[in-house]
Chain A
């Protein structure tokens, strides 16, 4: 974290510019780590929607990605978990309909 500012440098009234929390990497909280197996993923977006830390990035893919059953999944697809923010709660693993996420202890 950057050095803390003195009183004359702060925004008036304790106001803050938007979304500064992105600098706060909460991944250090994690004791369990979601291990994602793309080959079993159907890109249903359930894990993405429920992730409390918005730590599962997505992208739009015209060409698609290979997922469960060797099928090509096009459109909105999930990517690897963003471990900068993932707190390891395990909701993604618990809710995944194909069980393509497993929680393992962090080293």
Chain B
């Protein structure tokens, strides 16, 4: 297990001066992942929070080769970069090996970039896809995505007199990625950087595509105090709302099992997007949420226990 000390001493591929919101967790996620690479990296970034705030012309916060094309195609662009790398190696035009990373938010991954992602995983390009998951279209002001949790209040699926927010549960992107029979897919979170580092390392070392979903609380659109970003990530894991686990060769391994699982209210309270759930008439929604979280956790435990391949 890497230590925080080891992580912080690595050179930063993403430098100061970017315009991510105060209290955004994306930079530590990016820098930790790239710190885990023992080779130079090339980044293909989907349109989204990270892209717009890291490269407002004439400023770029990237100290590594970086390309952005559009919203829905980071995986396809990375496929092209990886194929170019293969061609260059074959033709003797390059002597360094490179790790290729595609990175996007949940909108660019679960939704609009889903096809390009699936295609790239299926074709087996050697690259790592990273989603920083802030559970909605946060760059454009909190619209609902397939990653938005049940009952969250977003601007396109708002809570109102006859609505409690998003009626659906989120898409299980990690299992979907693993179902492409890739060697490595994992779920990580901002608060546990050594775990994220290890997962990134395994991803880079895997033979073929790897997939990493990283929980990234959004102070701006989840509406909480920016100092609490890491805290909300921790609570997501401690409530089993966002379990830390990995799927290696189809087999689930859980990286963190809370000794005593905290009730989901611990995670929900203080977040503006869930404020409406604390009204008397919505109590049953929280109960329903808790029930699903517990069932999902049980299912995950069973997957780990039985070693059934995804």
Contacts and interface: CB of A to CB of B under 8 A. Distances in A.
Would A and B touch once assembled, by the CB under 8 A criterion? yes
Interface of A: 5, 14, 16-26, 29-30, 44-46, 48-55, 58, 60, 75-76, 82, 84-85, 87-91, 93-95, 103
List the 6 shortest-distance A-B pairs measured between CB atoms, nearest first: A90-B227, A21-B17, A89-B23, A87-B22, A21-B61, A24-B17
Nearest to A44: B4
B74 interface: no
25 contacts: A16-B59, A18-B60, A19-B15, A19-B61, A20-B58, A21-B59, A22-B15, A24-B59, A45-B7, A45-B8, A48-B8, A49-B4, A49-B7, A50-B190, A53-B18, A58-B8, A58-B9, A82-B16, A84-B16, A88-B22, A89-B219, A89-B229, A91-B230, A94-B230, A95-B230
B227 A54 contact: no
B48 interface: no
Contacts, number: 123
Interface string B22-65: 11111110011000000000000000000000110111111110
Interface residues of B, number: 42
Nearest to B20: A52
Contacts of B273: none
Contact of B22 (A21, A58, A89): A89
B194 to A, nearest CB: 9
Contact of A52 (B26, B58, B228): B26
Contacts of A91: 23, 226-227, 229-230
Contacts of B20: 52
Contacts of A84: 16
Contacts of B59: 16, 20-21, 23-24
Which of A16, A21, A95 is most buried by chain B, counting CB atoms within 10 A of its CB? A21
A29 B206 CA distance: 41
A17 to B, nearest CB: 8
A12 B142 CA distance: 34
Contacts of B227: 89-91, 93-94, 103
Contacts of B296: none
A42 to B, nearest CB: 12
Contacts of A75: 5
Contacts of B61: 19, 21
A84 to B, nearest CB: 7
Interface string B208-232: 0000000000010000011111110
Contact of B15 (A5, A16, A21, A44): A21
